[in-house]
Amino acid sequence: MILVTGGCGYIGSHCAVELLKNNKDILIIDDLSNSDYQSIRNIKLISNKNVEFIHGDITDIDVLNDCFSQNNIESVFHFAGKKSISESYKDPLSYFSTNVKGTINLIESMQKYDVNNIIFSSSATVYGSDYPLPWKEDLILNMPHNPYAKSKLMSENILKSYLSTNQNFSIGILRYFNPIGFHSSGLLEDKVLGSSNLVPSIISYLLKNIQFLPVYGDNYDTKDGSGVRDYIHIIDLIEGHLKAYEYTKKNKGCFVWNLGSGEGFSVFEIIKKFEELLDMKFDLRVLPRREGDLAEYWADISKANRELNWYPEKDINNMVKNILAFFEIKKENN
Ligand code: NAD
Ligand code: UD1
């Protein structure tokens, strides 16, 4: 059985569905702090399979120990965590508690119950801002500035340090760039819509929940002044997890892979793609830059190509079409 921490959230719920599709038994642990029980119902509905669920907090080691002692767990996919850069400036301790303490607890419990395989959700933000693009996994990283990125880099380092004490351990560290898009059922991500990320903002704007689309900064040193990111479709991202899992089951050690598309698109470019497909003009408002936002970054994905035979299939046009299909479903249900 695979333990999926944070399996009710955006990325974890997509992964849960794919694992079930691949006939893996899964147990989800989630404290529902950024999701709700409806996720479990929807995962069951989409996969037509049963899912074990524990409503629990990974910062509580007793909860984890119970979870490992009562179930036959062979691997962990570790998604549970907090993910907002701006929130992490306001409440750094909760970021270190959930992301770092939660990860330490998990390793301790895994050690106690002899579970030796983990796939860890890291982030492109661990690269900070000091390196030439595209970012490669073998860069020696300085501690990044924002507390969220710090918590992810600290967790990576803790996992790597633990490896030296346990030669049977294998770790897949996946540095996500910007995951976007939705499951074709449209059932998996209500909470995403409440966030201030670019795609949720666009959907909120199209649903008329907000009157204008904010653009956070148009004077960056980028191709058109707006922020540039590497967007990766959620289903491609999850495929990367399944391949990383197979790899780490065959190879002991710690492996780091970037999961992105390898290309950077600006905020204005993304908006234009939506405008073209919808044949409409968006009402944009340029607002000040968000704290902690970098101007631009994208991934070198040749390591994941080579070692995992992982190649993202959906390009930016497919991603925008997929998001619009999701929007249509939401509009009907609105
Ligand atoms: P999400 O918030 O949708 O999902 C995280 C899940 O973890 C939620 O269901 C939440 O309730 C749960 N959770 C939070 N704290 C918990 C705790 N203490 N105990 C148990 N469950 C807890 O986020 P997501 O977008 O699915 O991200 C998953 C992981 O990927 C996170 O670790 C995040 O930092 C990382 N990540 C996300 C992105 C992104 O853009 N979405 C990018 C890079 C990395
Ligand atoms: C996201 C994640 C972060 C993750 C990182 C990986 C959040 C809050 N952030 O950050 O956890 O580690 O990817 O790379 O989940 N923008 C607008 N208008 C909007 C919203 C966004 O102009 O309404 C701009 C931003 O300024 C940025 C770009 O769009 O230039 C992308 O922003 P966003 O979707 O929030 O993702 P990141 O901040 O890159």
In contact, 73 and 26? CB cutoff 8 Å = no
pTM score, two decimals?
0.97
Q: What CATH number should be reported for the domain holding residue 83?
A: 3.40.50.720
Check whether residue 242 and residue 100 sit in a common domain: yes
pLDDT one-digit tens code per residue, 29-76: 999 999 999 999 999 999 999 999 999 999 999 999 999 999 999 999
**Are 75 and 48 in contact, with CB atoms under 8 Å apart?**
no
Same domain for 212 and 107: no
Q: Exposed/middle/buried for 231, CB within 10 Å: 0-12, 13-18, 19+? A: buried
Q: What is the span of the domain harbouring residue 315?
A: 190-229+262-333
Task: Supply the pLDDT for residue 192.
Answer: 66
CB of 121 closer than 6 angstroms to any ligand 1 atom: yes
**Angle made by CA atoms 198, 200, 147, in degrees to the nearest 5:** 60
Q: Evaluate: CB of 64 within 6 angstroms of ligand 1.
A: no
Question: Which pLDDT score, from 0 to 100, does residue 35 have?
Answer: 94
- Does some domain include residue 185? no
Ligand approaching nearest to the C-alpha of 81: 1
Give how many domains the chain has, as a whole number.
Answer: 2
57 lines ligand 1 (CB under 6 A): yes
pLDDT at 189: 76
Q: What is the CATH number of the domain that holds 216?
A: 3.90.25.10
Name which residue sits closest to atom 4 of ligand 2, judged by CA.
Answer: 123
Give the angle 102-21-242 at the CA atoms, nearest 5°.
50
Residues noted as catalytic = 148
Query: Do 250 and 300 fall into the same domain?
Result: no
Contact assessment for residue 265 and residue 229, using Cβ atoms and an 8 Å cutoff? yes
Which ligand is in closest contact with the Cα of 77?
Answer: 1
Token duo for residue 220: 């960056």
Domain annotation covers residue 298 = yes
The alpha carbon of 107 and the centre of ligand 1 are apart by a number of angstroms equal to: 18
Q: Over its length of 334 residues, how does the chain's per-residue pLDDT go in tens digits?
A: 999 999 999 999 999 999 999 999 999 999 999 999 999 999 999 999 999 999 999 999 999 999 999 999 999 999 999 998 889 999 999 999 999 999 999 999 999 999 999 999 999 999 998 899 999 999 999 999 899 999 999 999 999 999 999 989 999 999 999 999 999 998 887 666 767 899 999 999 999 999 999 999 999 999 999 999 999 999 999 999 999 999 999 999 999 999 999 999 999 999 999 999 999 999 999 999 988 889 999 999 999 999 999 999 999 999 999 999 988 887 787 6
Query: Cis bond leading into 144, ω under 30°?
Result: no
From the CB of 293, is ligand 2 less than 6 Å away?
Answer: yes
Atom of ligand 2 at shortest range from CA of 84: 8
Residues 6+ apart with CB under 8 A from 69: 113
